[in-house]
Structure 1
Amino acid sequence: MKAKISKRLKLVASFLSTGAKFADIGSDHAYLPCYVCQKDPTATAVAGEVNVGPFQRAIETVKAYGLEQQIDVRLGNGLEVFEAEEVNQLVIAGMGGSLIHDILESGKTKLTSVEQIIAQPNVDARAVRKWMIHHGFTITDEDIIEENRHCYEIINAKRLDTPDNKQLDEKDLLFGPILLRSKPPAFYKKWNEEARKLEYVLQQLKQAKQVDQKKYEQFTKEWRWMKEVLSNEAGTYYS
C-alpha cells in the first residue's frame, strides 16, 4: 500500500534530499513522513503533533504503513518534540505564517543541527521569511501551487557555508525573493486575489470616521506593489 498525499505536500516533500533526518511539526496524520520514508528507506522522521486526537491517528497511520522503525510519532508543542542535534531538516506546513514564526522563535535553541527549514504557510509568508533571514538561514528556493482554489507558498531555506547576507527589502519579504523573479501562474492568481482584497480594505478604511493613516499608507504602498507586479506580465489576471 502506497502512502498518498496532496499535491501541496508532495511539493513540500520534494525539497527533502535522500537520507533526510527530519521533523515534521504539526504532522496531523503523519502522511508526509510516511510518504517520504516509504519512498526513501534511508530517511527517518519525528512526527510532532500537539493535539491528542491527531497524535493517535498519526500513530495508526505509521503502523498501517509499517514504518515504525523510521518514524517516531511524538506528542508535544512545537519544536519541543525533538532534542537539539536530533534532526537535520525541519518541515512546518499547513498553518499560518505568524504561528510558524512563533514556533521557530520559541524553539530556536533546538535548531543547532538543523541545516534546512521547509515552511509552507497558509497565509502571511512574510513573517516566516523575516524570521529565516534574521536567524542565519538563506532562502534558496521557493515555489507556489494552487490546490482546492487556494495558492500555497513553499519556502526552502538553508544554512549555507557562505551565507547570503543580502538583506531582503520589504517587497522581497512580501512576494518572496525567488517567486518575484520566477512568477509561475499560481503567483499571478494569488496576488490578483490579494490585490482585490486589499483594494476593498482600502475602500473601507477611507470610509471610516477615524482613519488610521499609518495603516492606510502601508496598505496603499503594498497595493501599488501588487498592481506593479501583476502588470509586468502580458495576460495578467489583474484588471
Structure 2
Amino acid sequence: MEQYNLKLSERLIAVAEFLPKRAKFADIGSDHAYLPCFVCLHDEQALAIAGEVNRGPFESAQKNVSKQGLEERIVVRLGNGLEVINEDDHIEQIVIAGMGGGLITNILDKGVEKLSTVNRLILQPNVDARQIRVWLNEHQFDLTAERILEENGHIYEILVADRNGVHPYKSEMIEKQLLLGPYLMEEKSSIFLKKWREEASKLKLVIEQMKQAAQPDEQKIKKFTQELSWIEEELNHG
C-alpha cells in the first residue's frame, strides 16, 4: 500500500517499539506526526494525539495525517507541552523525543496533573538523560527499560518508565546509576562505552580548566571528579 511509504529514523523506530499494541498515546513535539502515523499504520487499533507548539509544524502534521488517511485515529493539536491532552482523552502513554533533558522534565513538571491516566512514559533526550532519571525517581514512575543507539553520528538514549514498575536503583550506587543508566550499565554495549569514553575525555578537560581558574570552584571540581571516577570504573570493566 502506498501509505506505508513512511520512512522513520532508526531513533524513532526504537521509540515506537516501546509502545504496546493498541496504544493510546500522545506524542509531544510530534515532528510532523511521523511517529503517530507510523504507529497507527502498523497497528490498526492504536490511537494518538500529535502535539505541536508552533503553527508551521502543526499544519504540516495535519497534512501528513490526512495524506495517510488517519484523521479518525490521530488528532493533531496546537499547544504547549501537555496542554494538548484533555482528561477525557484517557491517554495511557506519552512520548517526548528529540529534546534536551531539561526541557523534557520542564514539560512533565508543568503538566504533571495530566499524567493521572498515563502508565508509561517513553522519553528520548538529546542531552542530559540524568535529569530525566532523577525526575522519574521522584514522581512514582519506575525506569523499566533503556536503549542506547547511534544514528548519523549522534548517540541517543531512550528511557522508558512505568507507573508501579520495579525500582531499578541500588541505594549505595544510585547517583552513579542516575548518571549512567542502570540498564545501560548492565548491558555495556559498544555504543555505551563509546559515549562514555568521549564524555570522560571532555570531563578531564573541564576539570583541568576549572583547577586553573583564579578562584576554583572546589565543590564543582569534587562533583566532576567523582563523576569521572564512576565513568572510568565502568570503562575499565567494559
TM bucket (normalised to shorter chain) is over 0.9
Amino acid at match of 1:122: N
Contact 1:137 1:163 in 2 (8 A): no
What is the root-mean-square deviation in Å for CA atoms of aligned residues? 1.3
2:150 paired with 1:140: no
Change (3 A) 1:181 1:85: farther
**Corresponding residue to 1:81 among 80, 84, 92:** 84
Equivalent position of 2:220 in the other structure: 215
Contact 1:84 1:111 in 2 (8 A): no
Query: Which residue does 1:66 correspond to in 2?
Result: 69
Amino acid at match of 1:218: K
**Superposition deviation, residue 164 in structure 1:** 3.0
Distance 2:106 2:114 in 1: 14
Q: Does 1:124 align with 2:106?
A: no
Unaligned stretches of 5+ residues in structure 2: none
Alignment correspondent of 2:51:
48
1:18 partnered with 2:11: no
Count of residues paired in the alignment? 232
Q: Which residue type is aligned with residue 217 of structure 1? A: K
- Contact 2:124–2:159 (CA<8 Å) still a contact in 1? yes
In structure 2, relative to structure 1, the CA distance for the partners of 1:156 and 1:165 (3 Å cut) is closer
Q: Distance in 2 between matches of 1:166 and 1:174?
A: 12
1:47 is aligned with what amino acid? A
Does 2:154 align with 1:150?
yes
* Aligned match for 1:194, one of 196, 199, 203: 199
Please give the secondary structure, in 2, of the residue aligned with 1:178. Answer: helix
Distance (whole Å) between structure 1 residues aligned to residue 88 and residue 161 of structure 2: 18
> Would the aligned equivalents of 1:8 and 1:152 in 2 still touch at CA under 8 Å?
yes
Whole-Å separation in 2 of the counterparts to 1:219 and 1:28: 35
Partner of 2:229: 224
**Aligned 8 A contact 1:130 1:173 in 2:** yes
| 2: CA distance, partners of 1:215 / 1:231 | 24
Q: Equivalent residue for 2:39? A: 36
Cα distance in structure 2, aligned partners of 1:165 and 1:4: 34
Q: Distance in 2 between matches of 1:163 and 1:221?
A: 27
Give the residue type in structure 2 aligned to 1:96.
G
Q: Write out per-residue CA displacement over residues 25-65 of structure 1, whole angstroms, 9 at most, x where no aligned residue.
A: 01011111111000001000000011111111111111111
Contact 2:143 2:168 in 1 (8 A): no
- Aligned structure 1 segments of 4 or more residues deviating by more than 4 angstroms: 165-168
Deviation at 1:219, TM superposition (A): 0.6
Q: What code does the residue aligned with 2:70 have?
A: L
Unaligned runs of 5+ in 1: 234-239
The answer to whether the 8 Å contact 1:85/1:111 transfers is no
User: TM-score of the superposition, structure 1-length normalised?
Assistant: 0.94
SS, match of residue 146 in structure 1: strand
Percent sequence identity over matched residues? Answer: 53
Q: Which amino acid aligns with 1:103?
A: I
Aligned-partner Cα distance in 2 for 1:171–1:73? 39
Aligned to 2:97: 93
Whether contact under 8 Å (1:143, 1:153) holds in the other structure is yes
TM-score, normalised by the number of residues in structure 2: 0.94
1:85–1:112 contact (8 Å) kept in structure 2:
no
